[in-house]
Structure 1
Amino acid sequence: MSSTHIFVGVVLLAIVAQTPLARFVREFPRLQTAATVFASVFIQATPFLVLGVAVSGSIAAFVSPSVLRRVLPGNQVAAIGIGGLAGMALPGCECGAVPVARRLFDHGAGAAALSFLLSVPAINPVVLVATAVAFPGEPGMVAARFAGSLATALVMGALWSRFGRPSWVIAKGRGHGHHETAGSSRREVFSEAARHDLLQAGSFLVLGAAAAAALHVLVPATVYDHLAGHLVLSIVVLAVLAVVLALCSEADAFVAASMSALPLLPRLVFLVVGPAVDVKLFTMQAGTFGRAFAVRFAPTTFVVAVVCGTVAGLIFVGAR
């Protein structure tokens, strides 16, 4: 039985049992509040998730890593910049960016590959529009997310160019990509990539919406008050939370928006750190590039993302 069958089965079960489930939820006020928060986050994020999956599938089917390598200039600095900005022109999911970045590594463009890897899920139009919708009346959040995420991508590319060692990367990826299958047509590649991304990203959206609901009903208000009064602590806590939750970048803005008791700055750091480094990405990177690479790349990316997100937040939204 495939994951698609399981997903369809769960949906059908929920539809059949919706009346008794609704009756049960209404009997418990806190559970009703949690259900409301969950539904709000999930429904708001779903259209952007679907759009992101469609774009990701299109990139998988029509844009190959060899094409990206040919457009990269020979100058290292320029290649890093173009690799970072490519996240705007070639939006896709985190899992799709990893195998593409691996191919760029194989073509000798490691620094550009890392800037591309970090920018794709963070600064693409779908993510930025979702952030604008999640934070209405706060255009500074969109600008700060773009600036902080792009800065993270460029800094990590520059650090690899200066300090990176090819020996840290395994000679050949072990196949965590889902974009290509020998003999597959473009339609088949699109369908497989979109199906894979929808199921994976959808599962993390469910977990993220559930986490947002749990944070509302299980965490006492005094905890939020304490964090709101200690800006540095709240930044660290939300940065770690972003790593643990491993949310899809098309949906994380709605989870961050639900944490309305906290200042904007730590929530901005949450949005910059999440697409750059989390437990899911660490596992994929360890399998694709090697453990020696992942154990160096992930902690460094975490620190760089926190610093870049904080600086961008202070510039665009202030300490609030």
Structure 2
Amino acid sequence: MAGSAPVTTVVRRTGVTSLHVFCLVLVVAILARPWLEQVLLAPVVRTAATVFVAVCVQALPFLVLGVLLSGAIAAFVSPAVLRRVLPDRPGRAVPVAGVAGMALPGCECASVPVARRLIGQGVPDAVALTFLLAAPAVNPVVLVATAVAFPGEPGMVVARGLGSLATACVMGWLWQRVGRAEWIADRARRAVEPAVGGGRWAVLAETARHDLVSAGGFLVVGALVAAVLSVLVPPAWLDALAGQLVLAVLVLAVLAVLLALCSEADAFVAASLSVLPLLPRLVFLVVGPAVDVKLIALQAGAFGRGFAARFAPATFVVAVLCAVGAGLLVIGAR
């Protein structure tokens, strides 16, 4: 009919939404309130909650400081600065890139795109990969956090710095000797232009927000694991593991890969495992920032799956050996 208004058909979507889930959880919580009160007041739960809160509260300031520094670097420091100060010969540039990690700190997630940008700007692969491993492991935020987590044990700070720096340099030299250009995907060699829009302060805020959300989740997971281990694992198991130094080293090395903690917060999780000797906990701190499940995924996306399949296992072995060597040299077998 002329002049009549168009008929609008409203299609109602059916299905389970987040509101339905929330209501269901709320109803279950109300019905199960007496049982929940008994569970939450149990000594085991209170102990686990204390450990969880302690790890989060201790680590959070260093995590925030780390992501702010990472955001500032993304906004105000160009990777071209590192390229200009590197020596021409890759063999000499590798340790320089490792030491540069102290001046240009960043979390593991941030170091992957920076390394890719370096490769895209023509920096030798070995040098960029050295920086990738060094930046999240030997920067001042991580070392200060380690000192706070292990009061009275300055050797842990020195051993962690030496072990992480050695891991980065050895992997750089190893890649220079046996690495092949075709192992890195072609997309990583294309120059990556930084995103623009909103100015440098907007870049800082967005980078810090992204890193905080990402790393904060891993911190919560790590704190939960530390809390669970503190109450569910029988003390006899930890005592037995503490008496088997080689086994403890291997177990904590694998645990570091699986937990994928942020390097600004992992020291507090390691400190909570006080029953174990210092050497296995040092291995945990050196292996974690060098290779873990999230880093393997990020490296596969940035440099290709073939690269990750070769680089990650080699890094794991080198990190364990360097951590054990630095630990025996600085803190001994304890």
Q: TM-score normalised to the size of structure 1?
A: 0.90
| Aligned-CA RMSD value | 2.1
Match of 1:155, as an amino acid?
Answer: V
The partner residue of 2:246 within 209, 232, 238 is: 232
1:184 Cα deviation after fit:
4.2
Match of 1:67, as an amino acid?
Answer: V
For residues 73-84 of structure 1, what are the structure 2 equivalents within 5 Å?
A: 73-84=87-98
- Does the CA-based 8 Å contact 1:25-1:32 persist in structure 2? no
2:143 is the counterpart of 1:128: yes
Rounded Cα–Cα distance in structure 1 between residues aligned with 2:198 and 2:109? 19
The partner residue of 1:142 within 157, 166, 179 is: 157
SS of residue matched to 1:249: coil
For residues 148-159 of structure 1, what are the structure 2 equivalents within 5 Å?
A: 148-159=163-174
2:221 is the counterpart of 1:207: yes
- Does the CA-based 8 Å contact 1:269-1:310 persist in structure 2? yes
- Does the CA-based 8 Å contact 1:174-1:287 persist in structure 2? no
Match of 1:281, as an amino acid?
Answer: L
Rounded Cα–Cα distance in structure 2 between residues aligned with 1:302 and 1:25? 40
1:24 Cα deviation after fit:
5.9
1:183 Cα deviation after fit:
3.4
Give 1:168's aligned residue. 183
Rounded Cα–Cα distance in structure 1 between residues aligned with 2:208 and 2:160? 26
Question: Compared with structure 1, are the counterparts of its residues 225 and 174 closer, same or farther at alpha carbon in structure 2 (3 Å cutoff)?
Answer: farther
SS of residue matched to 2:186: coil
2:118 is the counterpart of 1:104: yes
- Does the CA-based 8 Å contact 1:205-1:247 persist in structure 2? yes
The partner residue of 1:286 within 286, 289, 300 is: 300
Rounded Cα–Cα distance in structure 2 between residues aligned with 1:81 and 1:120? 12
- Does the CA-based 8 Å contact 1:173-1:287 persist in structure 2? no
Match of 2:133, as an amino acid?
Answer: L
For residues 1-320 of structure 1, what are the structure 2 equivalents within 5 Å?
A: 26-106=40-120, 107-173=122-188, 180-320=194-334
Runs of 4+ in 1 over 3 A off after TM superposition: 20-26
SS of residue matched to 1:34: helix
SS of residue matched to 2:276: coil
- Does the CA-based 8 Å contact 2:119-2:189 persist in structure 1? no
1:173 Cα deviation after fit:
3.8
Alignment deviations for residues 215-236 of structure 1 (CA, whole Å, 9 cap, x no partner): 1111111110111111000000
SS of residue matched to 2:133: helix
- Name which one, 1 or 2, has greater alpha-carbon Rg: 2
- % identical equivalent positions: 65
Question: Compared with structure 1, are the counterparts of its residues 129 and 283 closer, same or farther at alpha carbon in structure 2 (3 Å cutoff)?
Answer: same
Alignment deviations for residues 200-250 of structure 1 (CA, whole Å, 9 cap, x no partner): 010000000000001111111111011111100000000000000000000
Rounded Cα–Cα distance in structure 1 between residues aligned with 2:310 and 2:254? 17
Rounded Cα–Cα distance in structure 2 between residues aligned with 1:304 and 1:140? 21
Aligned length: 302
Rounded Cα–Cα distance in structure 1 between residues aligned with 2:231 and 2:56? 17
- Does the CA-based 8 Å contact 2:119-2:188 persist in structure 1? no
1:28 Cα deviation after fit:
1.2
1:25 Cα deviation after fit:
6.0
Structure 1 gaps of 5+ residues are 1-5, 11-16
Match of 1:116, as an amino acid?
Answer: F
Alignment deviations for residues 65-99 of structure 1 (CA, whole Å, 9 cap, x no partner): 22221221101122101110011000111111111
1:174 Cα deviation after fit:
11
SS of residue matched to 1:137: coil
1:104 Cα deviation after fit:
1.7
Alignment deviations for residues 164-211 of structure 1 (CA, whole Å, 9 cap, x no partner): 111011111499x9x932334101110110000000010000000000
